[in-house]
């Protein structure tokens, strides 16, 4: 079986089940060592095409953040974002996120409709699936609520991180969302599953939405945000700043609310591993090009 793995070790590290447990990255596992993995670095950048933000992210990945880097971010503290896009606020702690989302929802007059996650399967596996799912177990919505899609569904016209406003509800009380791109989407429940050898171990079903006035940096991983206000003043983990800043396509759509010393740092162990992986990638590329040349001859 051929397996393709993709990822970015500069983002947030694995979460330990217990506080005393030492966190290990996947490349430290025995399985990784036994798989004879071929490392290949991807060079195309699809989310960002602005030189300034690419420069900042490159400095963070290389561990070379300096005064020039911070100078590029200085304007982000005073920036006024475009009025037609309501920014998502990114915080490092759940408490800030919950307070803001609940407060903003209560400001809206009108009927509140609730959606409860449906689950089926092995209890422990269900719990793990729920913890990894970005959709909340209990979702409360009102007309006018700012929401974010938490799943990719290209056929329906949304991806993980697409934001918009609830503008209506169907007769079946399904929310109708108008995205900031001007698309109108009726949102249907989605299913998340864990299967093993064709057998379903756990399944959950919920609307692929969450309130989007605020979200944690952890839960923002993998998302592309139209605009963001980011508070990194309480960063406590390597990679937090890197994850948060890389959510937007351009610095023009980002405002910084605060930052601390660790925010723009990456794990020193990842810096070492990255150098090793880049070397392995160059060797694989060289071997591949040689193979192609031989075939052409």
What the block records as the tokens of 92 is: 């490092």
Q: Is 203 inside a domain boundary?
A: yes
Neighbour tally for 264: CB within 10 Å: 23
In a domain? residue 188: yes
What pLDDT shows up at residue 297?
56
Residues of the chain with confidence (pLDDT) below 50:
none
Q: Give a yes or no: residue 223 inside a domain.
A: no
pLDDT of residue 22: 77
How many domains is the chain partitioned into structurally?
Answer: 1
176 located within any domain: yes
80 part of a folded domain: no
Amino acid 204: pLDDT? 96
Q: Is residue 86 part of a domain?
A: no
Q: Report yes or no on 43 lying in a domain.
A: no
Query: Do the domain assignments include residue 35?
Result: no
Q: Provide the domain limits for residue 156.
A: 111-211
Residue 19: predicted pLDDT: 65
């Amino acid at each position: 079986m051929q397996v393709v793995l993709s990822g970015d070790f500069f983002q947030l590290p694995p979460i330990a089940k217990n506080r005393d447990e030492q966190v290990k990255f996947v490349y430290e596992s025995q399985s990784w060592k036994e798989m004879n993995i071929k490392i290949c670095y991807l060079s195309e950048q699809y989310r960002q095409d602005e030189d300034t933000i690419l420069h900042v992210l490159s400095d963070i990945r290389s561990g070379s953040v300096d005064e020039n880097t911070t100078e590029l971010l200085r304007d982000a503290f005073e920036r006024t974002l475009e009025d037609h896009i309501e920014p998502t606020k990114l915080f490092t702690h759940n408490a800030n996120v919950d307070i803001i989302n609940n407060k903003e929802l209560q400001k809206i007059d009108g009927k509140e409709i609730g959606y409860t996650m449906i689950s089926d399967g092995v209890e422990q596996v269900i719990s793990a699936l729920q913890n990894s799912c970005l959709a909340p177990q209990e979702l409360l919505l009102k007309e006018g609520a700012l929401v974010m899609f938490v799943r990719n569904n290209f056929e329906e016209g949304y991806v993980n991180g697409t934001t918009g406003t609830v503008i209506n509800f169907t007769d079946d009380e399904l929310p109708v969302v108008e995205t900031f791109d001007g698309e109108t989407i009726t949102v249907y429940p989605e299913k998340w599953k864990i299967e093993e050898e064709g057998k379903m171990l756990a399944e959950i079903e919920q609307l692929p939405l969450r309130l989007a006035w605020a979200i944690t940096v952890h839960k923002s991983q993998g998302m592309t945000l139209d605009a963001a206000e980011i508070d990194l003043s309480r960063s406590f983990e390597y990679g937090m700043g890197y994850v948060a800043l890389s959510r937007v396509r351009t610095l023009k759509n980002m405002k910084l609310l605060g930052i601390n010393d660790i925010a723009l740092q990456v794990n020193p162990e990842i810096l070492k591993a990255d150098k090793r992986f880049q070397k392995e990638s160059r060797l694989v590329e060289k071997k591949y090009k040689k193979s192609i040349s031989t075939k052409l001859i």
